[in-house]
Amino acid sequence: MKKLAKAKDKDKFNGSNAVKLDSKRKDRTRNIFIFLMLAWPILNWLIFTFYMNLETLAYSFQRLNRFTGEMRFSGLTNYKILFQKIINNSDSYGTAFRNTFLWLGLNVLVIGPISLVVSYVLSKKIPLHRFYNAVLFIPNIISIVILTMVWSFIWAPNQGIVNDLLRMLGLDHLTRVWLGDPDTALINVFIYCVWAGIGFNNLILSGAIAKIPKEILESAELDGVSNWQEFIHIIVPSIWPTFATVTILGATAAFRVFLQPQLLTNGQYGTSTIALKVVDEVLGGGDYGLASAAGVVMAILGFIAVYLIKKFLDKMEAKWS
């Protein structure tokens, strides 16, 4: 009996060890899998974000010696040159900085709220609402190069649809080079971005609206709540966190705008942005120091702007919660 009991105890011990060993193997396999999945994104971030930003900061304190081709420490020289260019609007730097903050206002105060209203209207299942959703999302599935080519054709001075329509209506005096006139070029690019930006926001906000319990909306309808009251008192508070996320994404995107004005106007006629000036300085003039200083200043201003916007959005969310 004692031998039998010892054998059973031994089997239990061996079984327990086997379970522990199997558990350790599973943990090791899981850890290796997690490491492999995270290794490339982390490496990518370290090289192309962390290192590149550090290098940009270092370059902002250096000037290029055009005779030797070497970068030498120059203190705050690049920042002094940058602020002089902004104040005097030399090389359109003042215009570029102004436009960047106009983009910020456009994304936060125009595109975001319009997207919210459009998403609510389409959520009411109006006639052809699926068609409108598809049309709004088209800019997000077509190359920006093709989109800007189509947009340029619509507003072309000679064979453009807009000018041809004005001529047909006998309004020849209103025709102009829409993308080549400083009075209309920036507004035209803004209109393009409103059209191109609403679709993505609409997709996210529509999903958030769809998650609102139908019982709440049906109860409000039975109580005689109007569409406006439903929108203000139910829809907006319910999806505010999602709307805040969309707004923050729009705010950060404002400081990276360069492709739209580059493709539509080549950054001319008062449409340049600071991101576009940075690209031009690097590719055109080779002034890495000045470009880096501009990038650092915009990063700081962008951080402050986004922080203040987020504080306001959080305050509004706390008010409704």
Tokens (6 digits) for 237: 């508070």
pLDDT digits over 115-149, tens only?
999 999 988 888 888 888 888 888 888 888 899 99
β-pairing, 70-73 vs 62-65, is antiparallel
- Cα separation of 56 and 182, whole Å? 32
Kindly list the distances between the CA atom of residue 70 and the CA atoms of 56, 239, 284, in Å, as whole numbers in the listed order: 15, 53, 18
Residues in the chain: 321
Q: What is the pTM of this model?
A: 0.81
Distance CA 123, CA 197 (A): 18
Residues of the chain with pLDDT under 50: 2, 4-5, 13
Boundaries of every domain in the chain: 1-50, 77-320
Give residue 4's pLDDT.
Answer: 45
Predicted confidence at residue 284, as pLDDT, reads 77
CB count within 10 Å of CB 316 equals 15
pLDDT at 139: 85
> The domain at 77-320 falls in which architecture?
Orthogonal Bundle (1.10)
Alpha helix (H) residue ranges in the chain: 2-45, 52-59, 77-88, 93-105, 112-123, 129-137, 144-154, 161-168, 185-210, 214-222, 227-230, 236-254, 259-265, 274-280, 288-320
Q: What is the largest CA-CA distance in the chain?
A: 113
Q: What is the pLDDT of residue 13?
A: 47
Convert the pLDDT of each residue in 269-315 to its tens digit. 989 999 998 888 888 777 888 889 999 999 999 999 999 999 999 99
Confidence at residue 19, expressed as pLDDT on a 0 to 100 scale? 54
- DSSP, collapsed to helix, strand or coil, labels residue 73 as strand
Query: SS3 string of 201-243?
Result: HHHHHHHHHHCCCHHHHHHHHHCCCCHHHHHHHHHHHHHHHHH
